[in-house]
Amino acid sequence: MPTILKILQICPYDIGRHGGVQRHILDLSAALQRAGHAVGLVAPGAPSSPVAMENSLFAGTRRAVKMFGTAFEVGWIRGGEFEVLERFLHDNAFDIAHFHTPWSPFLPYQVFRRVRGGATRCVATFHDTPAPGFSGDVRSALYRVASRVLSRHLDAAIAVSSAPAGYLWPAPGCELHVMPACINLAPLRAAGGRRPAGRPPRNILFVGRLEPRKGADVLISAFAQLAATLPDARLTVCGDGAERAGLQARAQRLGAGERIFFLGAVGEQEKHEQFARADLFCAPSPYGESFGLVLAEAMAAGLPVVAAANSGYRTVLSGPGADGLVPPGDAAALARKLAACLSDAGLCARLSAWGRGAAGRADVNERLPEFLGIYAAARSKREARGK
């Protein structure tokens, strides 16, 4: 009989808030449970929306922080909650503790200190990539040193692409794997199957937070240029954030406000519907992307993808998919690429066909055996040390 593992997932953020890390944790956990394994979760505070994981501990508090052109959360456990955490860890006796972005202050490290060196083996996934420039170089140097210290107590490290792998410095005994933060792509493939055939391409879709790191301002400028030559083109923006009001004003000022539709933050079902209605997906993030799960979603739904050639997106749109890449932050180049795709049915068809096949590398259902292999290898280290 196959070995049944008890696996703890440690999330540094509000698990109920939309985000690539949270989506990966939830979809990976669901796939592990379908395969018969037991999964637990530790995350800060009460989730902002319901999470269907029975064996969960929501502890401590969290606070939103804005830095480096993006928003993230700082969470920590305090006071008597440490006793609750230690009892949870003791009672469950997990085989594996899987940390995600382990240096996010402070909760992951608080859990890490309580399991390292014990019977529970430790694995960590590194999701983040610093932006280019001086501040990014400083962060990369700090991450490199921190990864060396952390990895002395890790059995395996996972980088979601070559972008974060480039600044990791694993200690001897900690094997480094490069593997995407996988999700369940089955609903996206179904959404692509509902797209009407035979209509001219004209609907562009953006999905993401409205913050500098996602580049929606570049897309608004590019669409305004595009709109002058393609009067039937439309842009749908799914997402919310501090930049929304400014982006809407910018769209009006550039004369494209009547053809850009801001839907705000949408749930998973509505997002799938938007994928089904779109003809082209655009992801203009100028920096700070390690992989790009939203690209994999669009590809699985059969959408041709146009994206900024940042360090993470280049790892997704490789080979024939690179035909959809443009220089980061270049609105004119983005407008030209969007126009080329919307005007060339052959190019759209090639990008769509390639994307459907390439998306599988980010499908948790296809990659689950690799995660289980990493976990099994870590567990075998515990058994070897116990002899």
Indicate if the pLDDT at residue 387 is higher than 50: no
Q: What was the pLDDT predicted at 309?
A: 97
| DSSP conformation class of 128 | -
130-154 pLDDT, tens digit per residue, is 878 888 888 889 999 999 999 999 9
Cβ atoms within 10 Å of 357's Cβ, excluding its own: 11
Burial readout 205-234 (b: 16 or more C-beta within 10 A, e: otherwise): bbbbbbbbbbbbbbbbbbbbbbbeebeebb
76-122 pLDDT, tens digit per residue, is 898 889 999 999 999 999 999 999 999 888 899 999 999 998 899 99
Residue 8: name the closest of 75, 72, 102 by CA.
102
Assess if residue 1 is contained within a domain: no
d(CA 254, CA 251): 5
What's the chain's average pLDDT?
92
Give me the domain span that covers residue 348. 186-361
**Total count of domains within the chain:** 2
Residue 100: name the closest of 123, 131, 66, 129 by CA.
123
Measured between alpha carbons, how far is residue 82 from residues 43, 76, 88, 113, 255 in Å?
13, 10, 10, 12, 56
Residue 356 shares a structural domain with residue 234: yes
Assess if residue 73 is contained within a domain: yes
Residue 242 shares a structural domain with residue 373: no
Q: Residue 65 sits in a domain of what CATH number?
A: 3.40.50.2000
Higher pLDDT, 33 or 1: 33
345-357 pLDDT, tens digit per residue, is 899 999 999 999 9
Residue 359: name the closest of 301, 300, 312, 307 by CA.
300
Beta bridge partners, 159, equal: 126, 178
Average pLDDT of span 28-50? 94
